[in-house]
Structure formats: structure tokens, C-alpha cells
Amino acid sequence: MEKTADTTPAPRADDRTITVALQRLVVGVVLLVLAVGVGILGAAGVADTPAIDVRWNGVVDRFTSLVPFAFAMNFLGGGWFATFVVPLAGLAVMLVLRRPWAGVLVVAASVVSAGVVQVIKGISDRVRPEDMLVVSDHGSFPSGHTANAATLATIAVVVFPRVWVALTGAAWALAMGFSRTIVHAHWLTDTAGGAMIGVGAALVVASALTVSVSREAARRDRVHKLGVGRAP
């Protein structure tokens, strides 16, 4: 008996997955628009150096004992290490875990976040605090280090949706933002803007990859359960 070709259509994403993708897109776009808006206001001189920034820049002088910690975060969160090593390491980890689409998410979100940061830096052209303890590029708003940290934290939650992952990611992003103000590389609102961009960029990219990443995770879970079930 002649076999006929399998014409069964590929499984379609369920409504919940589509809803999640749309939610990520909306939240991500809103955060990016807010960050761009603040950057434009800064360029216009409307929100150059708010009072809260001046006050916080003085408050962090009380944490001089944490300056070595801030120097370490300065290395981990920026420069060649954060730009190349971290995304490529994330990609490698995802490939080892057989999560190639998650690896694409790591790299794509990192690239988009870094690109948006540089564009807004050019728009805002905000001056950094005068008492800066590290060498940094032009433009204070937004904080690229904080954006990198927030991007990674958001990616981690998307790929591994666990409470402890979210708490760890939030702690990492907050610590990075705090460290940037300790070395006076950024004003407080710069770190808030960086966080918005990091989360926003990651969510926008994740929205485009939600279906692929979700199917990949479900497939891996099924394989894992089958493996456990066959174990003696």
C-alpha cells in the first residue's frame, strides 16, 4: 500500500502564548518610548539635572567602602566583557542546554539594548557627574551598564520563569545601577532610564521569539519527562 505524505499542519501557537507575546511587546514599547521621551527632555534642557539626582549624588559618598565593589561591577557590566563575552557566553550556555532559540534571544536582545542606549545617548548628550571615578564614554543618560544588567535579568526570566530567577535578576540590576552612582559615573535617573531600556528592549525582542522559545521549552520538558520515566 502506497504511503501518502504527511500533510498535518504544524501545531499553531495557542492563544495564551500569543497573548504573552503581545503583552511583552506593549510593555516593552511603552518602556522604550518613556526612555526616549526622557532623553528628548534632557536634550531640551527640561530635565537636565533633577534635584533628586543632585541629592543622591551626595548621598552615595557615604558608601566609600563599596567603591571596590563598584569597580568590579564597572568591569562586569560594560566594555568588551559585557558587549561580547557575556552575550556569547549566554549563547553557549543555551546551546549546551539545547535551547538555540533562547540563545538567539540572548544575543538579539543584547544587541538591540546596546543600540538603543547609544542612540538615546546621542539624543540626550547629558553631562556626567563631575566627580566620576571611572573612565566612560560620552553621554550620561541612559546608563549602559544598568541597561545590560536589566536586559540579562529580563532574558533570564523569559527563558527560566521562576520566582527566584526574577528576584536574582532584579537584585543584579539594582546592584549594577547602585554601583554606577557610587563611582559617580551616572546620575540616579540615568540608571532608571537604563533599566527601562534594558527591560524594554528584551521584552520587544522576546515578543518576536515568544512562540519559538515556548515551543522549544515545551519540547525540552517533554524529552526530560520521557527520560525520567524510562529511568530504572
> What are the structural domain ranges in the chain?
73-214
Instruction: State how far Cα 140 lies from the chain centre.
Output: 18
Q: How confident is the model at residue 49, as a pLDDT?
A: 76
Residue 47, pLDDT above cutoff 70: no
Q: How confident is the model at residue 12, as a pLDDT?
A: 58
CA atoms within 13 A on the CB side of 199: 20
Yes or no: say if 39 and 193 are a contact pair by the CB < 8 Å rule: yes
Instruction: Give 51's pLDDT tier (boundaries 50, 70, 90).
Output: confident
Surface-to-core class of residue 21, CB atoms within 10 Å of its CB (0-12 exposed, 13-18 middle, 19+ buried):
buried
Q: How confident is the model at residue 21, as a pLDDT?
A: 96
Q: How far apart are CA 115 and CA 110, in angstroms?
A: 9
219's CB contacts (< 8 A; 6+ apart) are none
Q: How confident is the model at residue 6, as a pLDDT?
A: 47
DSSP state of 129: P
Residue 35, pLDDT above cutoff 90: yes
Yes or no: say if 217 and 101 are a contact pair by the CB < 8 Å rule: no
In three-state secondary structure terms, 44 is coil
Rounded mean pLDDT of the chain? 89
Query: Could you tell me the pTM of the whole model?
Result: 0.88
Instruction: Give 46's pLDDT tier (boundaries 50, 70, 90).
Output: low
Task: Give domain 73-214's CATH number out of 1.10.3720.10, 1.20.144.10, 3.30.70.1400, 3.40.50.720.
Answer: 1.20.144.10
What is the share, in percent, of the chain residues with pLDDT greater than 90? 74
Chain segment 98-155, per-residue pLDDT in tens: 999 999 999 999 999 999 999 999 888 888 998 899 988 888 999 999 999 999 999 9
Alpha helix (H) ranges present in 44-99? 51-59, 67-76, 79-80, 86-96
Instruction: Give 44's pLDDT tier (boundaries 50, 70, 90).
Output: low
Chain segment 56-75, per-residue pLDDT in tens: 999 999 999 999 999 999 99
Chain segment 188-231, per-residue pLDDT in tens: 999 999 999 999 999 999 999 999 999 998 887 676 666 554 54
